[in-house]
Chain A
């Protein structure tokens, strides 16, 4: 328990450091740091509708991030969430296109399944390569992201192309409104329920199943699991598939919900923010939920910043990048700080 508390504290310290660093950057570039932070808070939570906006961005992020967390727990650094998200959305779009005309009660679940299958497939081949021949999954999933982006460009400017599009950004034909699961605001009972069900199911899987305990052990020491039996590959492959399926599910939600169509290069940072969330949450499911709301809030604030303080939306990218920097640096300094603190208490 104290270990979990320490990791939460550590993440908080990292986020604080990142905000401090960014405040310094904003201040030196001629903005009032206080005002910027204030309007981020407003844009994320305080303004009317801000909470809904934060949820709109936070819920799909949560679904993707919890999948990333599961593959990290099992010891696989699947950084292909972005590609799996795209392939999931493409699969759902193709499914919707193929079933056009069928009743929504049939089409919507079918698209969900197609999207999850698409995402899972985009994690399957790196998983197989990793487990069967030891190919580094960091490389394969990263390359998978590029392939998926190109495929997205192809389908949106080819088979699924919307002929009435402006030409600025290739997009698919819009999804028939009867199949939409939310309006463009992006928060609807279907999406909230999907996120809740995903969260509960994954919490049970991680904390209340043999899979959760064993995958956690395998992630920390795969050799030991090898000497206890031969299920290491099952654990690994299952983790890959789950993380891919969840990213695909998030892609489906974005397609059938707020976006209503897929466009080339839409939500380009989604999968990477999800990786960041899984890291900040130290792969805990509940931590992922909290961190997703925080990053959802940042995403929501990104749209509000230009209006309020004249700061470009990419200021949020700087904050995300700073958090990523601190989290991945695994600062020995912060560790020492926390350790000293702990010694004082006990």
Chain B
């Protein structure tokens, strides 16, 4: 690229390792001053790591960061701030009990001293006004609507005359109108001479606000900064998702498991699901459900989902688009504003999870090690907990008997272990997931919600999980499979629903069109 400027931020050859995982590899990018730059990529592309390196939070193994042409010692937040680089985190970092003025003072590098609430409010009033934050400087951050909270975070980042502002997924927590407000704010910053780097994953938003876009994939620099004016959303989606060469041939389970895969992993063609008689009510019906916003991710907005018995419905989407809230809503953990949830035609909107489980709901939660298992407890306790929760708390139990049936079940599920009194934390990831499957896919299971069931597993274990979900489906269970791995979804789903910002943005059936789904996931077709 023709260079006629001193880059506001440049990194060259930056590599970050997290243990055995390479988060970013040899990243070299230059960002021109006074522009709005977007950095995009799928989950795990290394966007956040890049932001953290630039802000000095992460020290790279290799590489150099320069600000306005001057090299910056890496891995030091004070140095980065002194050079004018500020990062606004995806999850807000200011103490909720602070007032706005206190947050500004907290962000400033002014030497401390004694101050009163009134003097603080006076000091920061004009700064806040210049950034269009009209809320009372003495109001507490926790009392503010989320858009204003984000505005305060940005204002906090700008108290030090910062010249380079990095925003990590700033739109993830906002409503559409909040996003418009944010973009206005960002354009104003640009006019004030601030260079803005936005970490985003929605193409629609990139094209709406950014001047240039840089694409990362798998920790590597794919393209950019490209001027947005020359880009079309379809070609950008292709850059983000990849050109298809990384996508496996549909259904090629052999290639996935390796040649020596056990017999049980073998699979003939995806069984054609007979359309169940529509006279029976669907297993799961979510009608126009909206949830209240909370800290665990974007809320659902008027989402409809229908799942028939004997069907695997895949839920695709870039992570953080309400999938977690969807699972929480099905579990009865989310705060519903409107809509109804029905299991086999029975309204369970007001039922708690114990009652829903009684009706056959089973959940393989997102976080295996924290939500799925108690790692310091024994295998048999973990395994028996699902059944124990269905009865009276004072029921007499015989641990020896439960251990014996635990042994029987776990060996049927091919879990590798020595003694069912060993702790769940001593199992490998794949065996831990099998333990959860053994608990959740029991004879009474009818509706199985599997959230990222293959994450972090090796190919053999992943294939086992898929096989388990398939055979549950073939027994007549309905499976809702949430995954950000499109290959996984395409391979075993009968239908795929795409989620974006808490809404369902289309349903696809095999043969799946990667481009179309990729576009829907990133919002390019909106």
Query: What is A's interface to B at a CB cutoff of 8 Å?
Result: 1, 3, 204-205, 207-214, 216-217, 220-221, 223-231, 234-235, 238
Contact = CB atoms under 8 A, between A and B. Distances in A.
B396 interface: yes
B393 A231 contact: yes
Which label, helix, strand, loop or mixed, suits the secondary structure of the A interface?
helix
Given A224-B372, A228-B386, A208 B353 contact: no
A228 B357 contact: yes
A205 B382 CA distance: 18
A216 B381 contact: yes
Contacts, number: 92
B385 A209 contact: no
Interface in B485-508: none
B409 interface: no
B381 A223 contact: no
Nearest to B393: A211
Given A1-B421, A213-B384, A217-B382, A228 B353 contact: yes
A220 B376 CA distance: 7
Interface string B372-416: 111111000110111011111111111100000000000000000
A227 B373 contact: no
The 7 closest A-B pairs by CB, nearest first: A221-B374, A229-B354, A229-B389, A211-B393, A230-B352, A210-B388, A220-B374
Given A207-B399, A208-B398, A211-B394, A228 B376 contact: no
A263 B420 CA distance: 51
Contact of B377 (A205, A217, A227, A235): A217
- Residue of A207, A210, A234, A238 with most partner-chain B CB within 10 A: A210
A210 B395 contact: yes
A158 B352 CA distance: 49
B374 A213 contact: no
A213 B333 contact: no
B375 to A, nearest CB: 7
Contact of A227 (B331, B352, B392, B397): B331
Contact of B388 (A214, A220, A234, A238): A214
Contacts of A213: 381, 384-385, 388, 397, 399
Contacts of B230: none
Contact of A224 (B354, B373, B388, B397): B373
A316 B161 CA distance: 62
B5 to A, nearest CB: 50
A234 B421 contact: no
Given A227-B353, A229-B357, 7 more contacts: A208-B399, A210-B395, A211-B393, A214-B389, A227-B331, A227-B372, A235-B393
A1 B378 CA distance: 11
- Residue of B353, B390, B393 with most partner-chain A CB within 10 A: B393
A224 B371 contact: yes
B353 A238 contact: no
Contact of B353 (A204, A214, A230): A230
Contacts of B363: 227
A329 B370 CA distance: 26
Contacts of A217: 374, 377, 381-382, 385
A221 B357 CA distance: 20
Given A216-B381, A220-B376, A227-B365, A210 B354 contact: no
Contacts of B370: 221, 223-224
Contacts of A226: 333, 371
Nearest to B380: A213
A1 to B, nearest CB: 6
Contacts of A234: 393
A220 B384 CA distance: 15
Contacts of B393: 209-211, 214, 231, 234-235, 238
Contacts of A214: 385, 388-389, 393
A32 B338 CA distance: 76
Interface string B304-333: 000000000000000000000000000111
Contacts of A204: 396
A24 to B, nearest CB: 35
B385 A225 contact: yes
A28 B78 CA distance: 51
Nearest to A207: B399
Nearest to A228: B389
A3 B354 CA distance: 32
A214 B333 CA distance: 20
Nearest to A3: B423
Given A228-B357, A230-B354, A208 B389 contact: no
Contacts of A224: 370-374, 382, 385
A212 B385 CA distance: 11
A94 to B, nearest CB: 30
Contacts of A231: 354, 389, 393
Contacts of B391: 210
A212 B353 CA distance: 21
Contacts of A208: 396-399
A227 B370 CA distance: 10
A86 to B, nearest CB: 29
A228 B372 CA distance: 9
B395 A221 contact: no
A227 B332 CA distance: 10
A118 B373 CA distance: 37
Contacts of B375: 220-221
A210 B374 contact: no
A204 to B, nearest CB: 8
B381 A210 contact: no
Contacts of A230: 332, 352-354
